[in-house]
Structure 1
Amino acid sequence: MRELPRQLGPYRLVRRLGAGGMAEVFLALAFGASGFEKRVVIKVLREEHVGDAVYERMFIEEGRLGARLSHRNLVGVHDLGCAEGVYYVRLDYVDGADLASLLARGLPGTSLALHIADELALALGAVHALTDDEGRPLGVVHRDVTPANVLISRLGEVKLADFGIAKATLLREVTRSGVRKGTYAYMSPEQMRGGTLSPASDFFSLGTTLHELLTGRRPFDGETTLETMDRVREAQLGSLEDVEADLRPLLRACLTRKPEERVGSAEAFRTLLAPLRRARPDAGPSELARWIQRAQPVTPEPRRPAETVLEDGDSGPE
């Protein structure tokens, strides 16, 4: 693991939160006048990508794209800078846990699962509606809607994160030969095949996530990676016997193979979802906050002087 400077631009790095294929993320502190202090997240390119013009361009475009997005269900991007030869992006710090970690501890129940899906649909609606300065649609597709990229705060907020692999049609996509951006188990069939993507691709991923929220498993998982990929390409959903009967049409509408036959907008998804939510007990931020508290009990952080820097923590899953 590389040693980054403890001070990166105006931010003091506290500890490493995790890493992915392209970048690492750190908890950091931002300071201001009269003792102002705020926890933020700083994202930097992995060491092996620093100085690589292709990866640095992708990282810069991520920052620029994220800065255009402002929605309560999206992790905010607030700064793009370069210090010590390292590009960094400043993101909102969400005090809570990612949905993948929470699901490893148990399911939320149907009402909360539908609430989370509703919030994610709102996030995707904002992403897909993004325009340039002249009001022209940018055609952004997130491409990586997975539980690992869904953050749940201790207050019960749902936020979609990680626009590092989002693709705008006005930008040139950079993909190494043979590599599919995204997480294969949640990809749409057209993304798995390397085809043209539309918002319908993100709703396939959302349908996969919802299926996992409801059942604890993904709908196309096989014994091996290749088997899973083949199943995703074919999108043979099966009977959905372990899903409540009235929820099956929504999942089928998201998880059909052909994108033109699939739910393709937040409005369409929420129209199908609304009566399913009304038929069940109310669930919202308060109920979600109680679930995260049960799944991940709060451990108070010891108060440390502002000048103290914590040691790097273990990295999250790749």
Structure 2
Amino acid sequence: MTKNKDADLFDDSAAYGRILGVDPSQVRKKIRGRVDTEDRGSLFNSTDLFGDIIDDFRSVESEPVSRVDPPPEPVHPPEPSARAENENERGAMEAAAELLGADTDPYQGSPPPREDEYSLLDAAYSTLLKDEKLQKDVERLDKIASQDSERDESSDYGDYVLLDRIATGGMAEVFRAKREGVEGFEKIVAVKRILPHLSNNADFVEMFIAEAKIVASLTHPNIAQIFDLGKIDASYFIAMEFVEGKDLRTILSHASDRDTRLGVDLAALIAAKVGAALEYAHRHRDEEGKELQIVHRDVSPQNILVSNEGEVKLVDFGIARAATKASHTDSGSLRGKLLYMSPEQAWGKTQDRRSDIFSLGAVFYEILTGHPLFSGNSEISVLERVRDAQFLAPSSLNPAVPIEIEAIVTRALQKNPDERYQDAAEMLLDLDTYLRKRPAVGASELARFIGELYEEK
């Protein structure tokens, strides 16, 4: 092993020292005892080294620790791509610090990995989570982070009163809140508060603020509007339109549980509404007439809300790009994002509006068929399938899909961006052409379907 690789491993000991609750120098001593005897020539072998070191420290703890015998056959990840084979141990440990939420600088003052390396490393390192002992450490750290973010959920928060927490994710927690005014005026809003560990990330905050300012100028019936951007104590927040309803991910999951799915026309309606939101955002200009080049980057079912009245809203424009600067990645949500990435996004290449069109096509495909566009046993396998962009025809999974709709989906999901719809307006035109030939469907029909879906049986 070269001196540089030894140094990388020693630097990476800081994250593991925190996980184990020991001084990093003790971890480095363990490494020194192993560097000359272990072959760590690949991205994955370095995880074995630290797994063994974790075992060494656990063996001397005062309290007994339950041990899980390894499976008789080791679980190997799929054959990595050429890029994965060339990644060094440092990349794996950077991803480890992100997955485990270590409150330290995993880069130790060195430049972070390039954006085009991030998704692959993050996905590759998820194989380490198959270690059940380490998974307990992950769960323990997640619990601590959750406890740190707990606050009185019915309390004053600047100009807002937080009523109840709606959701908590890897980057933010969302509250239903109200803003009060004179003469008993009240307005219900959604307050998205950035989690404390990201409020200390200067790169994330800078990009988050810049994106939020841009998105605040978007006013469209199919985009959840941002009303306010602020900071209270150490946390930044966005106050945005509150949508009383459910996200599309929840609706699709519930439909699957009921062994049903949305009809083709309702699926086309949802795709058209999201397409209209993207078309507006993609062509939006600033006050001087300059195109803002807005790209959502995370068009997915969880970011599409359907109100109880059947209105469709696309959310999270302001946080999608800033997320690339986050130092913590929730491995449970990683696969959910991979499922709707475009091939160029999965390769870490430059993205433009056509990347959003591919993601919308992936969402449309899932609504129509009841199955995600891509699937796999691990994040790595999903990533490779996204990059290949090979999929079954929608009609092979749902014979009710007509040829016109299959043609729209197929064009949106072309691997080569030049062969896709070049903008959302083109896709929207084809969707509208189809819908005009069909019996009229709108918000009331969508609301009726969802109401019946959730009726007690």
Range into which the TM-score falls when normalised by the shorter chain? 0.7 to 0.9
State whether structure 2 residue 430 is matched by structure 1 residue 272. yes
Residue 68 of structure 1: aligned partner: 217
Relative distance call for 1:181 and 1:45 in structure 2 (3 A) is farther
Cα offset for 1:76? 0.3
RMSD: 2.4
Residue 242 of structure 1: aligned partner: 397
Question: How far, CA to CA, are the matches of 1:12 and 1:177 in structure 2?
Answer: 28
Question: How far, CA to CA, are the matches of 1:12 and 1:165 in structure 2?
Answer: 23
Question: How far, CA to CA, are the matches of 1:8 and 1:132 in structure 2?
Answer: 31
Question: How far, CA to CA, are the matches of 1:126 and 1:239 in structure 2?
Answer: 29
Greater fraction of residues in strand: 1
Residues 1-318 of structure 1: matches in 2 within 5 Å?
1=146, 2-4=149-151, 6-106=155-255, 107-167=261-321, 174=325, 183-240=337-394, 241-243=396-398, 244-246=401-403, 247-296=405-454
Question: How far, CA to CA, are the matches of 1:100 and 1:18 in structure 2?
Answer: 14
Structure 1 stretch 19-28 or stretch 177-186: which is displaced more?
A: 177-186
Cα offset for 1:34? 1.3
Greater fraction of residues in helix: 2
Question: How far, CA to CA, are the matches of 2:410 and 2:319 in structure 1?
Answer: 26
Relative distance call for 1:245 and 1:291 in structure 2 (3 A) is closer
Matched-pair contact (CA < 8 Å) for 2:226–2:241: yes
Question: How far, CA to CA, are the matches of 2:368 and 2:360 in structure 1?
Answer: 12
Matched-pair contact (CA < 8 Å) for 1:165–1:182: no
Relative distance call for 1:190 and 1:57 in structure 2 (3 A) is same
Relative distance call for 1:48 and 1:108 in structure 2 (3 A) is same
Match of 2:176, SS? Answer: strand
Question: How far, CA to CA, are the matches of 2:292 and 2:320 in structure 1?
Answer: 11
Gaps of 5+ in 1: 299-318
Q: TM-score, normalised by structure 2?
A: 0.61
Q: TM-score, normalised by structure 1?
A: 0.86
Bigger radius of gyration: 2
Gaps of 5+ in 2: 1-145, 256-260
Question: How far, CA to CA, are the matches of 1:275 and 1:151 in structure 2?
Answer: 24
Letter in 1 for 2:391: L
Sequence identity, in percent? 38
Matched-pair contact (CA < 8 Å) for 1:185–1:232: yes
Residue 301 of structure 1: aligned partner: none
Match of 2:305, SS? Answer: strand
Cα offset for 1:74? 0.1
Per-residue CA shift, 1:49-108, capped at 9, x if unaligned?
223222222331232122111100000001111122321110000011101001111122
Question: How far, CA to CA, are the matches of 2:431 and 2:159 in structure 1?
Answer: 44
